[in-house]
Structure 1
Amino acid sequence: MFTETITHAGGTSTGNASAPHVLVVLRRAVHRGCTLDFTTSGGASITWTARRLIGDNVQAMSRSITFAPHLPVAQALTDATCDDLLLIDSSRDARYDPVRRVLTNGFWRIPPAATARLRARGLVEVDDDQRVRRSLTARIGYFARGHRTRTTEPAGWQYAADRGLLTAGLNKPGRRAGMTYSAGSVALCTCGFARHAGDRAEARRHVTGHRHEVAADFARSLVAEP
């Protein structure tokens, strides 16, 4: 379950939402080209700009829908847990054995203690036929875990020689004599994305653009699943 928060013309509304409802809203957002983002906790946010005609003027207003999971998964997604989830996702025959309390497909077996953790933390879903699949929060959290972004701190003032530059730097008396300033920053993502920028503001724009691009691709894959 999720807590759904909607920002609309009348203010803000909150309520509970099921995983199927989240997928329906994501599908609509993908079709309408909304801006999407996902969190390591297993949540999602959808933003767009609504336009209303007020008199002779068109007014643009920000709108959003956010989904926060009742059971955040960020701390639960350890390396070992992610390996178990990928094992489950790789098999169409993963099932829960209620007697031995393990997850298995006949060729591999996830031990009882690990199985109990996966179920208690809401990382897997078990249907009436004991078939197992990753939960929506687990899929979202795993995706966001692989796309954690940051920008590097600009180097600032440095001696030209330390940067390997063929310049004398500032020709002024004082503490910055012989120094040059670098505002350059790099936009980085744990997926391997990297882009150099002239300053940190530009690097943040690169990071934002990357996040929105990969989030849109991920959302399309989610809503395309049967």
Structure 2
Amino acid sequence: TLGIRDSLPPREALRLRIRWVQELQVRLVREAARRLAVRGGLDEPSKVGLLRWPELIEALEGGPLPGDLKERLPRAASAPLPDAFRLAEGGVVVAERTAREGEGQGVSGGRATGTAWDGTGPRPPDAVLVVRTLDPALAPLLPGLAGLVAQTGSPLSHLAVLAREFGLPTVVGATDAVRRFPPGSRLTVDGTTGDVQPHAVEPHLNEPQGDLR
């Protein structure tokens, strides 16, 4: 990890450090929940998300948990947020689309053509990984890919940083990419402009072509 960090440009190194801090914060809260559960005050570790930050600090320092914690309820589940959106007046979520469907933001330069792959099943030799989110757990799949396309993400995403390190053409914010580029489809990824273009898949000559009469 130190070698990768030292070889990155200063701006990328700063972004990587910010990402590390965010990941450490998640681990910190999970460990805090575990300790409070072991102590017996927190009956369900998942309820740590119902605590305000000062309440969490006080509990970790030996203080009591809020008396109304058992009555607190998590926010009602809502529909997943659009890949790109803005907040209108009153906090209403309004979906936004890019200037052209399928076009996104290039976060790792280069251009490549390959076969769409969703990370499951047989991997094509020229695989372009197409996913909804840049899950850090996908990092082991990066070596050998022809390209990477995601519906969400940013240049700050951990996977985007790694993609630049691998020299892997990568586009994020590609609207409806998972639907538009199903496994097996052909596409060209431009990690500089953010353009993602599908191609018609030509049938093999030995495949049945239907009734030609």
Same fold by TM (over 0.5)?
A: no
Short-chain TM bin: under 0.3
Q: Which has the higher strand share?
A: 1
The TM-score, its normalising length taken from structure 1, stands at 0.22
The TM-score, its normalising length taken from structure 2, stands at 0.23
